[in-house]
């Protein structure tokens, strides 16, 4: 099974290589993921509403021009830019969402979950997405880590910021916390609540879904 992933922002080649290596490591047997940069018209970071909307537009365009030969496609982003809330059954290449798959799975398993995000703008968009998926009642809250974009490629810095946020969400009733970035390696069992890597979980679900 071949899957196309499209970055939500324009990234330098070294970051594309880092993220591709992460997909190579996380993809279950039988699933191959190819990561492509969205293109230079996209923003370089998601720091406000305008950049999030621009990302959504560029991701939609990149997915539209992806061509044939893919079993599925998805944005390399937990905000699910350009992912339809209810995918049409007759669409061409199915477009999946990392947040949609991981959050709906947790809800189906009766898990009350929270999420952590890098900044306020991402938090607002993630909340909007969870509301669109009908998951407000399953969500214990969203904590903002207030980290710079460089922390996405710095697992140590990101994990160091997770402790207090995971503790706050656990106190609010979360037993799991979705890590609100698709490209960070997290210490899943080190905190007060289980940290869920949405990319790893979604890839497993994609593989199961295609073989079911």
Q: What's the pLDDT tens digit per position in 58-75?
A: 999 999 988 889 999 999
| Average pLDDT of span 106-135 | 97
pLDDT tens per residue, range 150-179: 999 998 999 999 999 999 999 999 999 999
- Looking at every residue in the chain, the average pLDDT score rounds to 93
Picking from 22, 44, 48, the residue whose alpha carbon sits closest to that of residue 35 is 22
**Which long-range CB contacts under 8 A does 19-27 form with residues at least 24 apart?**
19/76, 19/183, 22/183, 22/185, 22/199, 23/199, 23/203, 26/197, 26/199, 26/200, 26/203, 27/3, 27/203, 27/207
Burial 74-103 (b: 16+ CB within 10 A, else e): bbbbbbbbbbeeeeeeeeebbbbbbbbbbb
Average confidence (pLDDT) over 120-134: 97
């Amino acid at each position: 099974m071949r899957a196309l992933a499209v970055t939500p922002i324009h990234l330098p080649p070294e970051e594309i290589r880092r993220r591709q290596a992460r997909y190579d490591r996380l993809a279950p047997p039988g699933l191959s993921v190819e990561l492509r940069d969205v293109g230079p018209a996209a923003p370089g970071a998601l720091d406000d509403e305008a950049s999030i909307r621009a990302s959504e537009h560029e991701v939609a365009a990149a997915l539209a021009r992806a061509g044939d030969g893919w079993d599925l496609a998805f944005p390399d982003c937990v905000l699910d830019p350009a992912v339809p809330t209810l995918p049409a059954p007759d669409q061409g290449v199915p477009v999946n969402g990392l947040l949609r798959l991981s959050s709906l799975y947790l809800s189906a398993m009766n898990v009350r979950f929270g999420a952590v995000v890098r900044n306020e703008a991402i938090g607002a968009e993630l909340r909007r997405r969870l509301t669109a998926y009908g998951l407000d009642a399953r969500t214990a809250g969203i904590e903002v880590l207030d980290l710079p974009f460089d922390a996405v490629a710095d697992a140590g810095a990101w994990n160091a910021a997770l402790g207090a946020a995971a503790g706050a969400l656990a106190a609010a009733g979360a037993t799991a916390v979705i890590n609100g970035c698709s490209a960070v390696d997290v210490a899943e069992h080190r905190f007060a609540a289980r940290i869920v890597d949405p990319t790893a979980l979604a890839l497993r679900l994609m593989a199961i879904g295609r073989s079911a």
